[in-house]
Amino acid sequence: MEQPVRVGLLGLGTVGTGVVSIITRHQHELSHQVGRPVEITKVLVRDLERNRGANLPKDLLTEHAEEVVTSEDVDVVIEVMGGIEYTKGLMEQALKNKKHVVTANKDLMAEHGADLLALAAREGCDLYYEASVAGGIPILRSLTEGLSADRITKMMGIVNGTTNYILTKMSGEGRAYEDVLQEAKQLGFAEADPTADVEGLDAARKMAILATLGFSAPVQLEDVTVKGISAVTKTDLYYSNQLGYTMKLIGIAKRDEGRLEVSVEPTLLPKEHPLASVQNEYNAVYVYGEAVGETMFYGPGAGSLPTATAVVSDLVSVMKNMRFRVNGHSGTKPLYEADLKAEKEKQSQFFIRLYVADQTGTFKTITSLFADYDVSFEKLLQLPVEGEELAEIIIITHQTNREAYGELLERLASLEVVRNVASCYRVEGGN
């Protein structure tokens, strides 16, 4: 048996504890796969005295990150501490010290991934980050390996478990957003400050990573159109259900003749769509390829052991590369530029809910405005508002472009007969 692969761990929280557990319990399987055992030799923690249940000897723990990334007793650094700028510096230090790196940090990889991968290549080191997107679902490895011979044209998915849990409970139980959000915090599905999740930023970072790999183009976070779920109401979900749809926070990345669009926003899906049945904290990614057709990857999007499984799988990849002496080739430079679509090139259907004056001529005024922008109705509900001289109108449009849609909404809000444009959302997967 060869000498063990020595692992240094940056962080011993939920995921870090899971990594320790898997390495400890699966030692026989890991050794069988790569011919070498795995030994944890250094672990960064915030408090040496805190009991984390990881059963590690105290002399392996340190409060100084530099001891992990520069130690001669570490071959591979696993980063599960989070953060961006400070963590980036540590990863750079590790790579310059000829340490291979595995990370679960989607924030860091979305913002600095290209630079870190380039540094890893220069230093002859591996940098893997499967766990940064969709927890235990092997979606990144599928894009770079299993589907590498295909040309991906579209990816859409639920890549944030917090928002999916909230929308599932709101839709299924008729509860208000704030009520479910508080429950999600108590259950550990939402952070104390849930802004990154509920406003779509977490999902946007993941979609930037997916689009970069799937389309071999350097998609940045600022290239992603983002809208969160904090304004979604029980009323929106009720009418979505009445019209045959389920609402999810959906990330979409599309490529048409080399032109890209990437977005994250609350989206209405037909109830028969495979993603519509993904419930609670689960994630799923739907991939369209020219050769393979449609495939879907489904599983837990977060949690200690699912995410840790992805981390250790990356560790196995590093160890195999070490065995065959091919480290430093894990990252592939993008083949294309990120040629982004203009708003007038982005096509979709839309859900619009508005309150209007309940009087003769109102509907004619509204339909005339829609005709001006060549936007037609696929579905329509018109209901009186009890006790007021108002009507509520719910519209599902046919396909139109986002430029026309944006101008239409502005004009709609300015009409004298329109009292309020209450909500508007993307509709995907319809006719």
Helices of type H across 246-341: 304-324
Entry pTM: 0.92
* Same-domain check for residues 146 and 187: yes
Domain range for 419 is 343-427
Q: Please check whether residue 76 lies inside any domain of the structure.
A: yes
For residue 1, the model assigns a pLDDT of 54
Q: Is residue 331 part of a domain?
A: no
CATH code, domain with 175: 3.30.360.10
As to burial, measured by CB atoms within 10 angstroms (0-12 exposed, 13-18 middle, 19+ buried), residue 7 is buried
Does residue 84 lie within any of the structural domains? yes
Same domain, 155 and 130: no
Q: Domain containing 109 — which CATH number?
A: 3.40.50.720
Does residue 332 lie in a domain region? no
Check whether residue 67 and residue 162 sit in a common domain: no
Indicate whether 268 belongs to any domain. Answer: yes
Same domain, 236 and 155: yes
Final residue before a domain boundary, out of 266, 291, 324: 324
Residue 143 sits in the same domain as residue 118: no
Q: What is the per-residue DSSP string for 208-268?
A: HHHHHHHHTS---GGGEEE--STT--HHHHHHHHHTTEEEEEEEEEEEETTEEEEEEEEEE
Structure tokens that stand for 123 in this block? 């230093």
- Same domain? 190 vs 277: yes
Same domain, 115 and 172: no
Question: What is the Cα–Cα distance from 370 to 364, expressed in whole angstroms?
Answer: 10
Q: What is the pLDDT of residue 47?
A: 86
Q: Count how many domains the chain has.
A: 3
Q: Name beta bridge partners: 266.
A: 249
Residue of 208, 256, 213, 229 whose CA lies nearest to 164: 229
Within a domain: 43: yes
- Rounded Cα distance between 286 and 214, Å, is 12
Is 333 a member of any domain? no
Same domain, yes or no: 144 and 288 = yes
- Considering the domain architecture, whether residues 309 and 354 belong to the same structural domain is answered as no
Would you state the torsion angle of the CA atoms of residues 308, 314, 316, 320, taken in this order, to the nearest 10 degrees? 180
* Ordered per-residue pLDDT tens for the chain, 431 residues: 578 999 999 999 989 999 999 999 999 999 888 889 999 999 999 988 887 667 889 999 999 999 999 999 999 999 999 999 999 999 999 999 999 999 999 999 999 998 999 999 999 999 999 989 987 788 998 898 888 889 999 999 999 999 999 999 999 999 999 999 999 999 888 888 999 999 999 999 999 999 999 999 999 999 999 999 999 999 999 999 999 999 999 999 999 999 999 999 999 999 999 999 999 989 999 999 999 999 999 988 777 788 899 999 999 999 999 988 999 887 778 889 999 999 999 999 999 999 999 999 999 999 999 999 999 999 999 999 988 899 999 999 999 999 999 999 999 999 999 999 999 999 997 54
CA 290/CA 343 separation, integer angstroms = 25
Q: Is residue 29 part of a domain?
A: yes
Give CA–CA dist 60/68, Å, rounded. 10
Tokens coding 128:
């893997």
Task: Indicate which residues carry an active-site annotation.
Answer: 206
Q: CA nearest 418: which of 366, 360, 345?
A: 366
Alpha-carbon gap, residue 384 to 362, rounded angstroms = 13
Strands 347-357 and 293-300: unpaired
Q: The domain that contains 386 carries what CATH number?
A: 3.30.70.260
Same domain flag for 106 and 26: yes
Q: Identify whether residues 245 and 291 lie together within a single domain.
A: yes
Residues 203, 95: one domain?
no
Task: Quote the tokens at residue 69.
Answer: 């990334």
